[in-house]
């Protein structure tokens, strides 16, 4: 039975202490991959659009001790935003995903973090063949041992009104080659996450405009990964992001413009709680504290007159705690929790003044 979380009587609005703001690239048409933190927490990586040449993409490297940029790497193909960043468990490889464009294949750029250089480019065997998103690669997930990278790809529309199911590619990270491919069962496979056991792979996939989202469960211990079952979701629900806790027992899901976070028990593959998130903003960015006790929900404001917030959820009680305010961004596109769970890193566009050029995006560091 689905539990509706009760309001937390002690919840309060709390202003954060902004520690630093790092200027990023051009915010025009911004789609931001990252930020992601190195295993030791000393380095942060975030994708951006180049300020001088807006057709190119960069990965910015930030020292979290000083909150200063240490390098800016030109990465990937022109005219394609970097929409996802994944770091290997040892921090030696960074995978930057570009979705593709008209008649252009998407690609995964493999970055050697010690050399600060792209050492390989992984291309799916099919390309994006139209101005729609058909054929675009969407998201990536790395196995806990770093040996397998999973990349989702939208299906094609060979017959109008009857789109083909999408796919998930399996990449051997030792050779940077695609070694397997399996069907995603629905047209638009989106967010991927894999459990700490390296076996349970979850895929949020759009079934169609009127059918909401399905969360598929696959067994990744076999080749190709085997379909296990679905997490039951309401027909109208969408899922934009999945986050799993460190033990693999709970999966958290949220969608665009959804008012609640769904809590999924992975032993049952069932939604066991729905946590209402206050505010009417565009919600879809989740981050867990390292101790799994707090789930942060970035609540991006729908316009320039309502400041964005971050809502804190107590995962033990599935209740909303404090609402964090004081961020100097127009919206939050990316969020990660810093070492020790005392800091948040948020990235997004800054406020635009009417009649003036678009300002650069920013990465803000806040003490919580």
Query: Averaged over 282-306, what is the pLDDT?
Result: 79
DSSP 327: -
The Cα 99–Cα 331 span in angstroms is 22
Exposure letters 92-126 (e unless 16+ CB within 10 A, then b): ebbbbbbbbbeebbbbbbbbebeeeebebbbebee
> Over the stretch 147-159, which tens digit does the pLDDT of each residue have?
999 999 988 777 7
The rounded percent of the chain whose pLDDT value lies above 70 is 87
Residue 332: predicted pLDDT: 84
Residue 10: predicted pLDDT: 59
DSSP string over 276-308: EPSS-SEEEEEEE-TTSSEEEEEEE-SSTTS--
Burial class (CB in 10 A: 0-12, 13-18, 19+), 305: exposed
Residue 92: band (very low, low, confident or very high) from pLDDT cuts 50, 70, 90: very high
Q: Does the pLDDT at position 144 exceed 70?
A: yes
> Over the stretch 186-207, which tens digit does the pLDDT of each residue have?
888 889 999 999 999 999 988 6
Q: Does the pLDDT at position 303 exceed 60?
A: no
Q: Does the pLDDT at position 209 exceed 60?
A: no
Residue 5: predicted pLDDT: 56
Choose which CATH entry (3.40.190.10, 3.90.180.10, 1.20.140.10, 2.130.10.10) describes domain 31-239: 2.130.10.10
Residues in the chain: 368
> Over the stretch 103-118, which tens digit does the pLDDT of each residue have?
788 999 999 999 999 9
Neighbours of 291 (CB within 10 A): 12
Residue 125: predicted pLDDT: 78
The Cα 93–Cα 236 span in angstroms is 38
Q: Does the pLDDT at position 289 exceed 90?
A: yes
The first and second tokens of residue 328, run together, are 């100097």
> If phi over 0 gives left and psi between -120 and 50 gives alpha, with beta otherwise, what is residue 67?
left
Among residues 339, 332, 330, 340, which one has the least CA distance to residue 311? 332
> Over the stretch 46-74, which tens digit does the pLDDT of each residue have?
999 988 888 899 999 999 999 999 999 99
Quote the pTM value: 0.92
Among residues 146, 185, 191, 151, which one has the least CA distance to residue 169? 151
Residue 304: band (very low, low, confident or very high) from pLDDT cuts 50, 70, 90: very low
All residues at 6 or more sequence positions from 18 whose CB lies less than 8 Å from its CB, including other chains: 326, 327, 328, 364, 365, 366
C-alpha distances in Å from residue 354, one per residue of 75, 304, 351, 357, 358: 32, 11, 10, 8, 9
> Over the stretch 123-137, which tens digit does the pLDDT of each residue have?
987 766 555 677 889
Q: Does the pLDDT at position 331 exceed 90?
A: no
Q: Does the pLDDT at position 170 exceed 90?
A: yes
Residue 163: predicted pLDDT: 75
Q: Does the pLDDT at position 98 exceed 90?
A: yes
CA 310 from chain center: how many Å?
A: 16
Residue 3: band (very low, low, confident or very high) from pLDDT cuts 50, 70, 90: low
C-alpha distances in Å from residue 341, one per residue of 287, 289, 336: 11, 6, 10
Neighbours of 158 (CB within 10 A): 9
């Amino acid at each position: 039975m689905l539990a509706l979380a009760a309001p937390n009587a002690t919840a309060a609005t709390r202003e954060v202490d902004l520690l630093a703001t790092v200027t990023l690239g051009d915010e025009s048409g911004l789609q931001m991959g990252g930020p992601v933190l190195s295993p030791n927490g000393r380095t942060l990586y975030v994708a951006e659009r180049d300020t001088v040449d807006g057709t190119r993409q960069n990965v910015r490297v930030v020292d979290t001790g000083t909150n200063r940029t240490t390098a800016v790497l030109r990465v990937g193909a022109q005219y394609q935003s970097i929409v996802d960043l994944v770091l290997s468990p040892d921090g030696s490889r960074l995978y930057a995903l570009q979705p593709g464009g008209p008649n252009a294949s998407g690609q995964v750029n493999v970055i050697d973090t010690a050399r600060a250089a792209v050492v390989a480019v992984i291309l799916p065997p099919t390309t994006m063949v139209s101005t729609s998103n058909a054929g675009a690669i969407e998201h990536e997930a790395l196995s806990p041992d770093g040996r397998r990278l999973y990349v989702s790809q939208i299906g094609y529309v060979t017959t109008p009104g009857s789109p083909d199911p999408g796919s998930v590619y399996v990449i051997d990270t030792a050779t940077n080659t695609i070694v397997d491919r399996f069907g995603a069962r629905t047209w638009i496979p989106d967010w991927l996450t894999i459990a700490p056991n390296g076996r349970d792979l979850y895929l949020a996939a759009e079934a169609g405009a009127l059918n909401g989202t399905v969360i598929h469960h696959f067994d990744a211990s076999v080749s190709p990964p085997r379909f296990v079952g679905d997490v039951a979701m309401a027909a109208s629900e969408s899922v934009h992001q999945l986050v799993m806790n460190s033990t693999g027992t709970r999966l958290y899901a949220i969608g665009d413009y959804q008012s609640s976070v769904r809590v999924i028990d992975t032993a049952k593959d069932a939604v066991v709680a729905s946590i209402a998130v206050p505010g009417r903003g565009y919600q879809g960015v989740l981050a867990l504290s390292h101790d799994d006790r707090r789930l942060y929900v970035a609540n991006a404001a729908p316009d320039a007159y309502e400041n964005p917030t971050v809502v804190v959820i107590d995962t033990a009680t599935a209740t909303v705690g404090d609402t964090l305010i004081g961020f100097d961004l127009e919206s939050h596109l990316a969020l990660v929790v810093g070492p020790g769970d005392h800091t948040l890193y948020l990235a997004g566009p800054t406020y635009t003044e009417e009649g003036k050029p678009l300002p650069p995006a920013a990465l803000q560091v806040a003490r919580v």
